[in-house]
Structure 1
Amino acid sequence: MALLLMAQLANAQQFGGNPPSLHWRQIDSDTVRVIYPKGLDTTANRVAAIVSTIAGKNYHPLGSSVKKINIVLQNQPVGSNGYVGLGPFRSEFYLTPPADNFDQGTLHWADQLALHEYRHVEQYNNFNRGASRLLHEVFGQDGYSLAVNAAVPNWFFEGDAVFQETFLSAQGRGRLPSFVNSYPTLWAAGKNYKWMKLRNGSFKDYVPNHYYLGYLLVNYGYAKYGAGFWGKVTAEAAAFKGLFYPMQKAILHHTGLSYRRFIDDAFDYYKKIYGIETRPVPPAAKPTNGEEGLANYYYPQQMDDGALLYLKATVKQRPAFYIRDRMGEHLVRYRDISNETQFSYSNGKIVYAALEADPRWSWKTYSSLRLIDLRSGTQRKVTTRTRYFSPDISVDGKLLAANSVDLKGHSSLVLLDAATGNILDKFAMAGIDYFANPKIKSRYEVIAAVRQQNGDSYIGLIHFRTKKITPLTPPTHRPVGQISLFDHKVYFIGSMGLQDAIFSVDLQSHQIKKLENKELGAYFINASRERLHWSSFTDEGYRLRQQNENDSRWTNQDPNAFVQAASGFVSDSLPHAESPLNIAVAPRPSKKYAQLTRPVNLHSWRPNYIDPEYSFTVYGNNILNTTQTNLYYIYNQNDKSSTVGGSITYGGLYPYIGIGSQYSFNREVMISQRLRRWNQWDNYLSFSVPLSWIDGRLYKYLNAGTNLGYQHDFDQITTQPGIHFGYLTHSLGFGAQVQQSRMDIFPKWGLGIKGQYRYALNQWISRQLLAKATGYLPGLLPTHSFVLSVTEQESSAKYQLFSNQLNFARGFNAVSAVRAGTATFNYHLPLLYPDWGFGNILYLQRVRGAAFFDYSVIKENRSAPYKNLQSAGAEIYVDTQWWNQYPLTFGFRIGERLTQDLVVPDGPRLFYEFILPVSLIPK
C-alpha cells in the first residue's frame, strides 16, 4: 500500500513537511490569518488585502456569512497549486508560478490563488445551512465536508471559483482558449458523451474534468439567469431542500427546467457561440503513424537529418522521448519524473527540467536540469536541488538558459555552463514576474515570454550585457508563449478570440503575423528551414501537425488590435466591479507564528466500521499540519470488548514522535476449553523517520521506526496478578516504483521490502521476525501486471506474545505457527471499461480481473513437520464512482484449496469471498 501511495506525494497535504528551521510569521485580521515563512511579507500583505477586499465587497454573493480562514503560504514546493480544505478549515497556496503561460494564464500567481481559493472559502462559509449544518454540528468538519460535497457537485465548486478569478481580473482561465475549448473540441468531433461520463471521466477517452465543465455551467447560469442565480440554487441545495438530488431540484425550482434540460441548454448555448451546429470545426489530422486512442505529443522538434523528436505520453505508457524517421517511431528514453512537458533540443542533445524532492521534508521540492546525449544514449545531471524551469540549449550545445524562481518568488533568467551547471550570467528586472519559455539567440541574448506583475505578457529580447529588454510584441492580457526561434523570426503561440493560434514576429521590423489556421488550439510550435511543426489539441489529445513553410499563409496583425482583442468568454450579466487586484496595499502588522500553535485543534468526530470493529474517533490537526491527534472508542463485535484510547504524533522534528494509550474492557478468549476474561491497558512511544524522494524515473521511500510498548493485563476471573510486559518493535521498509500511466493497474516496475522485529522486555523470551518483499512487473500487454510477493514470519515457540501478521494462502484459516511463509503469484488485467452509470448514484469505470496462486508453508511448533497450504483462483474487481465523486472498488474472489485446511480439514475445497473497500465512509 505504501508503495502505491508514495506516488501521490506531490499532490497530498504534507504532514510534517517543513523543517523546524523555517520561521513562520502571521498577518492577522478578523477575516483572514495569513501564515507565511519569514521574508514573504510583501506577498502575505497582498494576499491579506485581496482576501479582505473580496470578503468586504462580496462580489456575486452566495450569502453573507464570513468566517475567518487560515491561509498558509508555502514557498518550498516547485509545484503550482492551492486548495481550501475542511478537517481542519484552512487553505494553502503553493507559490511557485506555473511554467507554461497557457496552463493557468499570466496573472501574478499569488493574486490568482487569492481570487480562486477565497471563493472556496465563501462557498464553505455560506453552504453551512439546513441538513449540511446539522451534519456539521453532529460530526464536525468532516461531516460538513461529506454533506456539502453530496449536496453541491464538485463541478460547481471549481467552476464557480474559476468564474471568480475570471470575473474579478482581466484574465483568469475563463479567458484562456486552452481552457474553454475542451468541450467544443469534443462536440466538433461528434463526441456528445452522456452526463455521467462527463462527471466521472474515463480511463480510455479524453473527458475534460470538473473544472472545465463547471466553468461552462456556472458562466451560463449567470449569463442566462442573472447575478443572484447560483446563490439561490446552492442555498437550497446545501440545505437539502429535497433530500434526494438537492442540486437538481434547486435548479428545477429556479429555472422551471429539469436538470438534464438545463445542461443541454447550456451546451447548446456554447455550441452556438462556436458555430458547431452549422459549421463544425475542422478536425486536426490524425498522427501519421496511425496510432489510435488517447495520446499527447509535446514540443515536436525537427532534427538536422529531418527526423522528428518529441515527448509522448499515452494512457498506456508514461512520458518518454521518441524519434520518428522513415523507419518509424523509436523510443529514446523514458523521461525522468517532471512537472513540465517542455524540453529543448540542439546539436544532438536534449535538456529538460526534472523533479527532485527532499527525502524528509516533503514540502521541499526542486526542479533540476537533465541533459541527454543522443549520440551516446546517456543522461547526466547538470544541476541538483535547484529551482530552474523551461531550459533551452544553444546551437553548439555549450550554453543553457533557464528561468529561476527563488524562495521569495522572484524570477530571473540564468545562463549556465552546460558542462558544469555553473551560473555564467543572470538577469532580473523590477516589475517582471516570470520569464517563460526562454530561447537562446546568442551568448548574451535570450528571447522569452515575459510576464509582468500586472498580468500582461509579451515576447521580449533580453540583453544580458546592457541589462535591458526589447519588447518584440506589445504587452497584452492575452497569453503569449511557447517560443521557437528560427532565422530572423520568433514563432510563438498567442490567444485571440476562441483560438490559440500560431504567430510570428520579425526581429528587425517587429511585424506580427498570424498563421491562417482554423483549428481551435495550436501549441508547441517549432520552426525549421522548410517546415512548421506543432501539436493540435483534439478529442484524442495533442496530435502532431506539420506544414511546409512555403504553403503557409500569414496575415499581418495590427499591434493595437493584437493587444485589444478579447479571448475566451465570461458573462457580462453581472454588475461591473472594480477588481480587488487594483487596490493599494498598505503594510499590515506582522508577528511570529509558533509552529505548535493550537497543537490539538480538534475538528471532526466520525463513526466508522472495519470488520469486526465499530469505532467513533475524534480527529485533530494543527494548521501547519505538524501534529495529529486521535481520541477513539472501539467496539469489537467478535469478543464484545470495548476500547477507549488516544494518540498524538508530532512531525515537526526529523523523526516523527508519537505517544498513545488505550484501555480495553472485557476481552475474552477460549484457551484449552477454559475461558479467559481480562481488561488490557496498552501504551506506546514511537519514533519513526519517513523518507520519500524522487530519483530520476523512480519514486522511492525508506521508512525506519522503533516503537516501545507496554501491555498490562488485568485478569477478571482469578485473583492472580495480571500479565504485564514491555516490548520493542523495530521496522524498516524500502520501496521504489516508476510512474504509472492512466490505465496501469499497478506500476510496470516496482519493488517493496519490509522487515520488522518485535521482542518482549521481561522474563519471557518472546520474539517475532517478519520479512516481506513485493515485486511489480509488466505483463504480456501494456496494461497488464504481474504482482509477486514473498513473506516469512518466525516467532518464539514457548511464549507467543505477538499476534500473527502473515497472510496465509487465500481461502485458508490462520493458525498459530512458530514459522510460516507465503508466496503469492498474481496476474492482473483490465477486462472492460464500461463508462456507464445510472441515477447519478453509481458509475462503473473499469472491470478488471486477476488470477492467483498462493503457496504457504507453516510449522506449528518446533517438533511439528512443515505443512503446505496451496490455493488458486480468480478475482473480479469493479472500479466505481459513487454520487459522481467517491471512488470505491469492490471485488469477488473464487478459488480452490489445493490442500486441506488445518482448522476445518473436511471443509469444501471451493471458497467464495467478497472483497470490500477498507472503509465505505469517504474522508
Structure 2
Amino acid sequence: MRNFRSIYIALCIAGLLAPLGAGAQFYSSGDDPASAKWMESSSAHFRIIYPVGLDSLAKVYAAELERFREAEEWSSGYLPGEKYRRKMPVVLHPWNAVSNGSVTWAPMRMDLYTVPDHTGSDPLPWTTTLAVHESRHVSQMQLGNDGLFRPLNWLFGEVIPGGVAAVYPSTYFLEGDAVTAETALTGAGRGRRGDFLSYYMAAFDRGDYRNWYRWRWGSYRNYAPDHYALGYMTIAGARWMYDDPLFTADYFSKIRRNPLRVNNIQKAFKARSGKRFKAAYKDIMEAFHDVWSEAAEARAPFTEGERVTPAQSWHTEYINLAESDEGLLAMRSGKTGTARLVLIGDDGETSLKAFSESAGPVIAIGDKVYWGEIVPDIRYGLKQTSRIRYMSLKDRKIHDLTTGGRLYNPEPSEDGKTMVAIDYPFAGGSALVVLDPETGKTLRRFDAPDSLQLTEAIFVPEGLAAVGISAAGSGLYLVHDDGTMSTLIAPVAATLTGLLNRDNGILFMSDRSGVTDIYRLSPQGKLFQETSTRYGVSDFEFMDDTLYFVKQEYEGHYIFKLPHDALLHREVLSLSPCSNPVAETIAAQERALAGEREWPSQARPVEMTAPKRFRKLLNIPHIHSWVPLSVHYDKIKDLSSEDVNEYASLGATVFFQNLLGTASGSLSYEYKIDQRLGKRHVGHLQFTYSGLFPVIEANMHFNERDMIQYRRDRSVFGGETREYIQGYYTGKPSFTGEISIYTPLNFTSGGWRKGLIPQLKYSFTNDFFNKTVTELEYREPVGLISRFEEIKEVIPGKNMMMHSLTASVRGYMMRNIAEAAVYPKWGIGIEGGYHTRVGMDDLFTSSVYGHVYGYLPGFFLNQGLKVSATYEHCNGAFILEHHLDLTPRGYSSSLLDSFIDSYAPGAFRLSLDYAMPFYIGDISAFSPLFYISHASLTPHFDWTGMTLGRGLSGNMNVCSAGADFKLHLANLLWIPYGTEVGVSYSHNFGPSVAGLNGLGADISDNYFGLIMNVDF
C-alpha cells in the first residue's frame, strides 16, 4: 500500500515540475525531418529559426510579430519579451499539415506551424492569426519573471514562468485572453465567429446554466465547449460587463504583488461585482443570453426543417454531407464513438467505414467517394501530407489518389472527369490544382497572389470559383482559364465556406448574421439568404430538390431536410457582419487604450539581421532550468513508489532541451546516505535525441553504490555437488546505465492508429562476473579434527562485465479512444523480444517472450474489454533470469516473482480487464480544490501458469480476481491535469497457492492498494 506522505511530497514536486512535463522537457509535439538544415535571422525583438530556403516566410512572420508587439501590452500590462534580455526564439515548422501554434517556457520559445488553415473558419490570414494570438501568450508569460517571481527564476530557471502560468491563470485564462486579444485587435478573431459560442446559445436557451467549474472542466455525460470558448466568455465577458479594459493587466498585477492569491480569478470577480464567483459568472451567462436572444428575435422566423437523424442519448455530431449513388453520406462521431462514414437512407443509418478524424469534406463521383485526409509521416511527427483519398462504395477499400504534398478540399467537375483541390506548398502561398480523379495527375495549376490565401474552390461555367482570405477578410473570386482573377464577392470580415454550384447560383455558408447560415450568389450577382437558423448550420448538401443541412442543437449537430421551395430566398445587400456588442466593446476599449499610439492595422517591412546557419549540434546543450534537488522525473509521473527518495533527494538537477525539441535530458547530482558506507556522491544523466531516423535514449548513473565482483563457487560434500554465486563490494564506484535505440514508425490513416516500433536496448554496468569455478570439498570431522574444506579444483574462466542486450519489436493497430470510453472499441497489439547477457549465456539464461493484447466492445457504448497474454521462456543455463514480471495483480508483496525466477523456465500470464466508466454528476462542490468528472469500475482477472524446473517438476497455476475503483479528477489542487485516485482489490487464489506458500512464497489471500495517477 502506498505511503500517503510520499504521495503528498511527490505531488508537491510534481506541481513544481508539471510545466516541464506538459510542454517542454518531457514532452515533444514531434520532430522535423532529420535532413532539414536550418537558418536564423533576427528582427528587433524576435529570433526567427527556419529551414533553409524560407527566408521570405521568415520575414513575413517577423513583420507580423513586430506589428502586434506594442499593442499586446495595452490591456495585458506586458510587452512580449520585456522581462528578458534575449530575443524571443520563434521556430517555423513548415512541414506540418495541421495549422497551429504554441508558446512554451522551458525552454522559452514560440513554435509556429505555418501551413494555413484550410477550413476558412476565420476571415483573417493565418500569419496574422498566429502572430496576434501567440504574441499574447508571450506577453502573458512575462508574469513568471516579474515581481516576487523573479528571484525564483534565479533559483529554478525557466520552469518558473511555466509553473506560474499553470498554477494561476491556467489554460482557460491564457487562451481566453489570447482570443480576446485577436478579437479586439483585428476585425475578425474567434470572438466574432458564428460557431464559436453557438453551443452556449443552445444550452442557455435550454436553461443549462452550469456553474463555471462545470464548464471549465467539462462533463463526462454532457457536452461542454473547449477552454478557448469558456476563457473568452470569462475574460471578454468581464471586460464587457464591468467596462474594465484592464481586467487582464489588473489580474496579473495582483498576482505579481501577492503570489498567495492562487484563487485570483474568484477575487477579481468579487471585487468588480460584489458577488461570489459562481453568481457573478451566472450574470455574465445571462447577459450573453440576453444579447443572443435579441439577435435571434431579429433573425426569426427560423428555418426548422424535418429531422433526418434522431437525437441520441449521448452528444453526437454529423458533418461532411455528400450526395452519392447510394444515398446521403455523412461522417458521424460523438462522445461514445470515433469518426465513421455512414450512409443515411429512409430505413435508417448504415455504418460504412471507420474514418479519420482529420478527414475533410466528402465528395462522390460515381461509386467512388473522395476526401482530403491528413496522414503523418512514418517517422517524423512534424512532417505530414494531406492526401486525396478515395473509397469504392462497393468494396469499401481505401486508396490514395495522391501521396505527397498538401492538398485539401477536393471538389469534382460537373461531368466528374476532373477535380479541383487547394494546394499549400511547404514554402508558403496557395494554389488551385486541377486533377485527374482516376490517376491523381495534375492537369492545371493556378498560383494565388501572395496577398491571398485560397481555402476552397468549385467548378462553375465561367471557370473556377474560389474562396480567398486576405487582410480585408473572406471573399469569393472567379479564376479564369488564363489564371487571371476577378471578384465575385468583395472580402468582408465574415466566414465564407462550403461552396456548392447549382443552376440558380453558388451556395455557401456565412456567419454574417451572428450564426452560420446558407446563402446564395445568383448568376446575376445578387446575394440571397436561404436559411435562418437559431444556432447555426455547419454543413449542407442538395439531393434532387431537397436541401439536407446540419444544424446545431443542444444534443449535438444533427441532419435536417427541407424542400427547395421552402428556402427563404431573402435578398441581402452584402455579407458585412451584423453587430456583435461584446466584440465591438472590447475593440473600442483597445482603441481607447492605444490613445495616440499607432494601431496595428498593417504589417510593415522590418529590418532583420543577415541570415546565418543555425547549427543543430551546437544547440543541444541548451540548459533552461535547474532545481536544488536530485529529481527522478519519470517516477514522479507514475507516483507508484513507496519511498519518497525515489522522487527526489538532496542534490541538484539541470534540465536541457534544444530549441528544435529533438534533444532533451537532465544531469543531476545526488547526495546520498549509504547504509553501509555513509555519505555518497552520485551522478545521473538522462538524454534523448530524436533528430535522427532512430531515437536514441540514454540513462546513466555513477556511484549509486560500490562496484560488485561476482564469483562462482562449487561445493562437494558427501557426494553431493552444489553450485552458487557470491558477490562482494570492491570499494570502487559503480557505473550503470542503458542505451536504447528505437524507431517509432507511424502508419496511421483511415481512422486507425497503426505503428511498428523495433527497439534495441543495451544495459551495462561495471560489475564483473568471474567465470572461474572454485570447487571446494568439505570433509567430515575425524577425531579432534573439525570439519574442514579444501580447494579440490580451479577451473579457469574469464572475468566478464555484466551487460545485457534486449531486442524487441512491437506492432499495433487500433481505433482512437472515444471521449467517454476507457479503451479503444477495436484494437490489437503484438510484441516479441529476446533478452540475453552478452558473453554469459552459458551461465545466465537468455529468454524469448511474446505479448499480445487486444480491445473489444463492451455491453454498452462507453464500456470495453481488454485481453492480454504474455509468455516468456528461458533457455537452459545455470542461472534463471526472467526479463518480465509475470505475477498476477495482488501478488506484489509476495515472493512469487522470486520463485518464478528460481524455478520456472517457462511462465505465462493471461489478463482480462472490463472497464465500466459511469457518470456521477459532475461534482464541483470541492472546486477549485478538485473536480470529480466521473468514476470507473474495472473488474479484472489474472491467471499465471508456470512450467517448473531446477529440481522441481510439473506445472503450477495461480490466479487473482478483483476490481479497481477510481474517481477521475479533472484537477487536483494546483496541478491542472487529469488525476485518478482510487483503490484496488484482488483476491488471490488457485490450485498452487497452498503449495507455493509451503515453499515460502508468502502469498496472502487478499490485496488492497491505493491508486493515484497523474496524466501530465
State TM-score, norm by structure 2: 0.82
2:671 is the alignment partner of 1:582: no
Q: Tell me the equivalent position of 1:615.
A: 648
Which residue among 907, 914, 917 is the counterpart of 2:1010? 914
5 Å-filtered alignment, 1:166-315, equals: 166-223=183-240, 224-237=242-255, 240-253=258-271, 256-275=274-293, 287-292=307-312, 293-303=314-324, 307-315=327-335
CA deviation vs aligned residue, 1:318-377 (integer Å, no higher than 9, x gap)? 212222222111122222x24244112343332101222211222111111122222454
CA deviation vs aligned residue, 1:637-694 (integer Å, no higher than 9, x gap)? 998998531133322222233444312434799x999996675321444433222231
5 Å-filtered alignment, 1:47-196, equals: 47-57=61-71, 58-63=73-78, 65-67=82-84, 68-102=87-121, 105-129=122-146, 132-133=149-150, 135-196=152-213
The answer (yes or no) to whether the contact 2:320–2:362 under 8 Å persists in 1 is yes
Deviation at 1:531, TM superposition (A): 2.0
The answer (yes or no) to whether the contact 1:200–1:885 under 8 Å persists in 2 is no
The answer (yes or no) to whether the contact 1:338–1:355 under 8 Å persists in 2 is no
Q: Tell me the equivalent position of 2:701.
A: 662
The one-letter code sitting in structure 2 at the alignment partner of 1:654 is: F
Q: 1:302 to 1:764 in 2, by over 3 A?
A: closer
d(CA) in 1 for partners of 2:493 and 2:332? 31
d(CA) in 2 for partners of 1:143 and 1:563? 45
Which residue among 331, 340, 354 is the counterpart of 2:373? 354
Which residue among 670, 674, 689 is the counterpart of 2:743? 689
5 Å-filtered alignment, 1:152-551, equals: 152-223=169-240, 224-237=242-255, 240-253=258-271, 256-275=274-293, 287-292=307-312, 293-303=314-324, 307-335=327-355, 337-431=356-450, 433-441=452-460, 445-452=463-470, 454-463=471-480, 465-507=481-523, 509-551=524-566
2:927 is the alignment partner of 1:839: yes
d(CA) in 2 for partners of 1:824 and 1:564? 59
The answer (yes or no) to whether the contact 2:687–2:698 under 8 Å persists in 1 is yes
d(CA) in 2 for partners of 1:349 and 1:867? 57
The answer (yes or no) to whether the contact 1:283–1:538 under 8 Å persists in 2 is no
The one-letter code sitting in structure 2 at the alignment partner of 1:426 is: R
CA deviation vs aligned residue, 1:31-50 (integer Å, no higher than 9, x gap)? 21111112222221122223
d(CA) in 1 for partners of 2:377 and 2:477? 35
Instruction: Give the unaligned 5+ runs of structure 1.
Output: 1-7
Q: Tell me the equivalent position of 1:42.
A: 56
Q: Tell me the equivalent position of 1:781.
A: 860
d(CA) in 1 for partners of 2:39 and 2:95? 15
2:613 is the alignment partner of 1:598: no
The answer (yes or no) to whether the contact 1:484–1:525 under 8 Å persists in 2 is no
The one-letter code sitting in structure 2 at the alignment partner of 1:40 is: L
Deviation at 1:114, TM superposition (A): 0.9
2:983 is the alignment partner of 1:892: yes
CA deviation vs aligned residue, 1:577-599 (integer Å, no higher than 9, x gap)? 55435132145232221122431
Which residue among 20, 23, 27 is the counterpart of 2:41? 27
Q: Tell me the equivalent position of 1:854.
A: 942
d(CA) in 2 for partners of 1:13 and 1:378? 36
Single out whichever of 275-284 and 838-847 deviates more from structure 2. 275-284
d(CA) in 2 for partners of 1:362 and 1:387? 15
Deviation at 1:137, TM superposition (A): 4.2
d(CA) in 2 for partners of 1:291 and 1:564? 31
Q: 1:801 to 1:232 in 2, by over 3 A?
A: farther
Q: 1:43 to 1:184 in 2, by over 3 A?
A: same
The answer (yes or no) to whether the contact 1:77–1:366 under 8 Å persists in 2 is yes
Single out whichever of 799-808 and 61-70 deviates more from structure 2. 799-808
5 Å-filtered alignment, 1:720-735, equals: 724-735=801-812
2:892 is the alignment partner of 1:874: no
Q: 1:89 to 1:500 in 2, by over 3 A?
A: same
Percent of aligned positions that are identical: 21
d(CA) in 2 for partners of 1:286 and 1:124? 50
Which residue among 818, 824, 829 is the counterpart of 2:911? 824
The answer (yes or no) to whether the contact 1:648–1:659 under 8 Å persists in 2 is yes
Single out whichever of 254-263 and 350-359 deviates more from structure 2. 254-263
> Secondary structure, in 3 states, of the residue corresponding to 1:710?
strand
d(CA) in 2 for partners of 1:548 and 1:639? 84
Q: 1:153 to 1:586 in 2, by over 3 A?
A: closer
> Secondary structure, in 3 states, of the residue corresponding to 1:875?
strand
Q: 1:510 to 1:630 in 2, by over 3 A?
A: same
Q: 1:304 to 1:819 in 2, by over 3 A?
A: closer
The one-letter code sitting in structure 2 at the alignment partner of 1:228 is: L
d(CA) in 2 for partners of 1:479 and 1:88? 36
The one-letter code sitting in structure 1 at the alignment partner of 2:662 is: T
d(CA) in 1 for partners of 2:493 and 2:538? 18
The answer (yes or no) to whether the contact 1:303–1:309 under 8 Å persists in 2 is yes
d(CA) in 1 for partners of 2:88 and 2:243? 31
Q: Tell me the equivalent position of 1:791.
A: 870
Q: 1:189 to 1:150 in 2, by over 3 A?
A: same
Q: 1:706 to 1:300 in 2, by over 3 A?
A: closer
Deviation at 1:894, TM superposition (A): 1.7
Single out whichever of 35-44 and 759-768 deviates more from structure 2. 759-768
For these two proteins, the number of residue pairs brought into alignment is: 896
d(CA) in 2 for partners of 1:43 and 1:518? 41
> Secondary structure, in 3 states, of the residue corresponding to 1:187?
helix
d(CA) in 1 for partners of 2:345 and 2:36? 51
d(CA) in 2 for partners of 1:495 and 1:712? 69
Q: 1:862 to 1:283 in 2, by over 3 A?
A: farther
The answer (yes or no) to whether the contact 1:367–1:389 under 8 Å persists in 2 is yes
2:769 is the alignment partner of 1:752: no
Deviation at 1:30, TM superposition (A): 5.2
The answer (yes or no) to whether the contact 1:188–1:283 under 8 Å persists in 2 is no
State TM-score, norm by structure 1: 0.90
Q: Tell me the equivalent position of 1:770.
A: 849
The one-letter code sitting in structure 1 at the alignment partner of 2:319 is: Y
The answer (yes or no) to whether the contact 1:496–1:566 under 8 Å persists in 2 is no
CA deviation vs aligned residue, 1:681-724 (integer Å, no higher than 9, x gap)? 21444433222231433222222232333312399xxxx99973
Deviation at 1:760, TM superposition (A): 2.1
| Structure with bigger gyration radius | 2
Q: 1:634 to 1:581 in 2, by over 3 A?
A: farther
> Secondary structure, in 3 states, of the residue corresponding to 1:694?
coil
d(CA) in 2 for partners of 1:638 and 1:893? 34
The answer (yes or no) to whether the contact 2:763–2:804 under 8 Å persists in 1 is yes
d(CA) in 2 for partners of 1:418 and 1:587? 46
Deviation at 1:66, TM superposition (A): 4.0
The one-letter code sitting in structure 2 at the alignment partner of 1:558 is: L
2:690 is the alignment partner of 1:628: no
> Secondary structure, in 3 states, of the residue corresponding to 2:97?
coil
d(CA) in 2 for partners of 1:165 and 1:295? 30
d(CA) in 1 for partners of 2:856 and 2:151? 49
Q: Tell me the equivalent position of 2:785.
A: none
Q: Tell me the equivalent position of 1:5.
A: none
CA deviation vs aligned residue, 1:617-636 (integer Å, no higher than 9, x gap)? 53211001121122235799
Single out whichever of 145-154 and 562-571 deviates more from structure 2. 562-571
Q: 1:494 to 1:519 in 2, by over 3 A?
A: same
Q: 1:260 to 1:237 in 2, by over 3 A?
A: farther
The answer (yes or no) to whether the contact 1:181–1:498 under 8 Å persists in 2 is no
